[in-house]
Each structure stands twice: as structure tokens, then as C-alpha cells.
Amino acid sequence: MEYFHGFFTGSSTLAPATAGYGGFHGGKGNGLMGLMEVPESLNVHAGVISQNKSFVDEISNLVRTETKLEKKKGDKKIRKPRHAFQTRSQVDILDDGYRWRKYGQKAVKNNKFPRSYYRCTYQGCNVKKQVQRLTEDEGIVVTTYEGMHSHPIQKSNDNFEHILSQMQIYTTSF
């Protein structure tokens, strides 16, 4: 819990994305080398590769949507950092080593696939994630993590590393 000090309180406006990385993976940061921050170059890349264009658009939309929720005059608003991962996978369930409980599923507009909402089941851990598949590229799955884990992973992460090795990753922070 102490992890969240000054992070979720919103006192610090910078909300370091690096903290998110560290929290995401407790111990060895092996496969996380693939992680990179996504600046505005995101837009630059749009249109370069036709296949990737669609997901880039989707990500952009995602970013815009969440950014709007952060603008509040009464600076008391807590800005919760989110990290969006774009992965290539046949299955929605990407086992990252944590134990998740699904708590909802909604259809999103402009997307024929539903979005699933998961919550970490570790006691006191309020990390959430949502998984979304793209309409045009059903081989692409966007996973958005919200919050940080303040506890160790409960399973061996061999599987996790394996998945990471075949992952194209995009992250955004707010």
C-alpha cells in the first residue's frame, strides 16, 4: 500500500511511468526491455504500416478518451495512470502471472468485440486491467493496466516471459 503514496494521491502531477513498470513486474525485469514509452511519435507512425495503422488509431482513441477524464478544474481529481499494451495473440487471456477475476464485459462502439474488465484478486490490491480486441485485426489484443501491484507475483513467470518474447508492446502513461 505504501507503494501508492504520492502516486494515487495525485499530489505529484508527473506520475512516473517507470514506477508503473517496476510495479508491474516485481523482480527481474527481463522481458520488460521491450517496453517503451510512447510519445507523440505514435501519430507519426500512423499510416506507415497498413496493418499497424488500425491499432495505432485504436490506441490513439484510447488515449484521448482517458485523457479527457483527467482534465478537471478542481485539481483534487486523481489521475490514475494507465498503461496500454498492444499484443498479438489468438487468445484474450494473457497470463501475466497475477490472478485476475473478471468483473464485467461491455461492448464498445466502433468495435464488434466486447471489452473485458478484470481485477486483481490479491487482498488489498486494486489493480485493474481491461482487455480489448480490435475489429479489423482480431489478431491484436489491447490490454490496459490500471494501477500497480504491491505484492509479488503468485506464479512462476516462465510463462510470462515466454509471452513477452512474442509481444509487440506499446505503453502510454498519463
Partner DNA sequence: CGGGTTTGACCCGCGC
Partner DNA sequence: GCGCGGGTCAAACCCG
68 is an interface residue for DNA by CB under 7 A: yes
DSSP 155: S
155 is an interface residue for DNA by CB under 7 A: no
Whether 132 and 110 have beta carbons less than 8 Å apart is answered as no
Query: CB of 66: closest distance to DNA in angstroms?
Result: 7
Query: CB of 99: closest distance to DNA in angstroms?
Result: 5
- The window from 14-22, 24-32, 93-101, 161-169 that contacts DNA (CB under 7 A) reads 93-101
3-state helix, strand, coil in the chain (%, to 5): 25, 20, 50
- Helical (H) or strand (E) element with 52: helix 50-68
Query: CB of 115: closest distance to DNA in angstroms?
Result: 6
Q: Convert residues 114-133 into a mask of x (bound to DNA by CB under 7 A) and - (unbound).
A: -x-xx--x------x-x---
- The window from 21-29, 34-42, 94-102, 134-142 that contacts DNA (CB under 7 A) reads 94-102
Cβ–Cβ contacts within 10 Å for residue 34, how many?
12
Distance from C-alpha of 113 to C-alpha of 155, rounded to nearest angstrom: 29
103 is an interface residue for DNA by CB under 7 A: yes
Q: Within 18-57, which residues bind DNA (CB under 7 A)?
A: none
For DNA (CB under 7 A), the number of binding residues is 22
Q: Which residues contact 95 (CB under 8 A, 6 or more apart)?
A: 155, 159, 160, 163
